[in-house]
Chain A
Amino acid sequence: MPGKSTAHTYPRHWKRPPLLLTHPFWRKVILLGGLVYLILAIQTIEVDWQRVYLGLERGWRFVQGFLVPDFTSRWNDIYAGLLESLTMTVTSTVAGILVSVPIGIGAARNLAPAPVYLACRGIITVSRSFQEVIIAILLVAMFGFGPFAGFLTLAFATIGFLSKLLAEEIEDCDRSQIEAVRATGASWWQVVNYAVQPQVMPRLVGLSLYRFDINFRESAVIGIVGAGGIGATLNTAIDRYEYDSAGAVLIIIIAIVLVVEYSSSYIRRWVQ
């Protein structure tokens, strides 16, 4: 067939195939569905532009308050809130770790018998599925306003986070070390202490520091529903339209989060 070789021309242009959703039909369906959803969703937003316009002046005052924060005039409130937040963070992290270590060991399939495993996994699921704020609402209703309810909330949330990750870490342990220690005739406690604990300790320290960081951030939020801490101070400042004090509180929160994050990454590197 001589004609075939003469008609053989290479394409001069290359079109990149789609990177995602390679099937043409599904691509069209999904894109169209997304578009329809977007139109429907945007229609549900009711914006009162007059209110937004009025609010712009407040927004500007907030920006000014953030740039020129006022630490002094509400310093007593800020100090009290900050002290509550920090002490709440420390105690709840420590209490959370103390409770989550046994639960984490119980939720590791290679160390715990089936009934214990299921019970511990159940506790973890319950703790993880509810938001801190919702738990705080319930605990404030039970224990009254103040940092004690916040302490319980954060400790409870810590359990779900830490136990789950600790259990996964224990399940990923090197089996040969456990076997070696067991072969010496060690009891269950000794296996946990000499074979598992050295392997998971660096990770546990790292996770605890990370959770400390999260707990501090959350302690700023649960104050809004009455569980003590800097969140209550912030809420009051915004309710009074004192944006310069609110800006000061936000700057302090950001600074503390930064300090905690940097020092915890430093300690984690030192431990590991």
Chain B
Amino acid sequence: MNHPSLNPQWQYRTPKQSLLRWFGWFWLVAFTVVCWQIMNENTIWAFVSDAPQQAADIGGRMFPPAWGYINNLWQPLWDTLNIATLGTLLGVLFAIPVAFMAATNTTPSVRFVRPLALLIIVSSRSINSLIWALLLVAIIGPGLLAGIVAIGLRSIGFVAKLLYEAIEEIDEKQVEAIRATGASGAQVIDYAVVPQILPAFWGISVFRWDINIRESTILGLVGAGGLGIQLNASLSTLAWNQVAMIFIVILGTVVISEWVSAKVRQAVL
């Protein structure tokens, strides 16, 4: 009676499945270990092992934050807000035509225009705004303009991607109804497409603005204006208590912008 075939035991997977899984996990672990080895070839472990001391040291220097330093931060904070807002506006302005060119139902040509629009979206999305800023500071010089253009270039891909997905999901019946009245192409977009994507559009724009506030706080590290310039200056003079104050300001800004964006999205959607 105790023969295994007469006393079957339930198992989660068949033997073949579990063997496959085991091999999958094995290769994943082995691959990770190899990557770990390659990555840490040049790591100086002495620096890693004294990290807790360093952390305590930096923490001690940060601790009371330089509260008075906030008076030097209002102007950069205003610059940061402007970089994020104007950059978002710039990005959205360019993203709208790109999105209409990328959506299969509104594009003028699926074969020629759409791939171009998708290429714009991909290159804008893959490159972080800090890298755009690095390039633009070299090209048009340090300052707010480089930051605004960097934020704008990065936002094009993000806004255009989400917007064209929204355009592709619209209700085609409304488009057909407007077209049946004899509307021209522009009128169809104005009266049938735009009302359907407008809530999504505002939601996406405010969401991107929120992200841009975060990103514009650090653009100054490469010279593109805003709080990052002060951060860079304080870091290079090792004034950790000023750094702590800047972190507090950044955190406050991020929390407020997140709150604003959540409120606006709630109101719009």
A interface vs B, CB < 8 Å? 16, 19-20, 37, 41-42, 44-48, 51-52, 55-56, 58-59, 62, 83-84, 86-88, 90-91, 94, 129-131, 133-134, 137-138, 141-144, 146-148, 151, 194, 217-218, 220-221, 224-225, 231, 234-235, 238, 241, 246, 250, 253-254, 257-258
Contact = CB atoms under 8 A, between A and B. Distances in A.
Contact of A142 (B12, B51, B214): B51
A98 to B, nearest CB: 10
B126 A91 contact: no
Contact of B134 (A37, A84, A238, A241): A238
A266 to B, nearest CB: 16
Contact of B40 (A58, A90, A148, A231): A148
B139 A59 contact: yes
A144 B137 CA distance: 27
Contacts of A147: 39-40, 42-43
B143 interface: yes
B56 to A, nearest CB: 10
Given A59-B139, A221-B131, A258 B122 contact: yes
Contacts of B79: 44
Contacts of B148: 45
Interface in B62-120: 78-79, 81-82, 85-86
A137 B131 contact: no
A138 B58 contact: yes
A46 B47 contact: no
A235 B128 CA distance: 13
Given A142-B54, A146-B42, A224-B222, A131 B82 contact: no
Nearest to A235: B134
- Tell me whether chain B's interface is mostly helix, strand or loop, or mixed: helix
B127 A254 contact: yes
B140 interface: yes
- Tell me whether chain A's interface is mostly helix, strand or loop, or mixed: helix
Contacts of B135: 62, 238, 246
A5 to B, nearest CB: 29
B86 A52 contact: no
Contact of A87 (B39, B198, B202): B39
Contacts of A62: 135, 138-139
Contacts of A84: 39
A220 B127 CA distance: 9
B54 A148 contact: no
B122 A129 contact: no
Contacts of B218: 131, 133-134
Interface-centre pick from A86, A91, A151, A220 (highest chain B CB count, 10 A): A91
Contacts of B35: 86-87, 90-91
B254 A51 contact: no
Interface in B16-61: 28, 31-32, 35-36, 38-40, 42-44, 47-48, 51, 54-55, 58
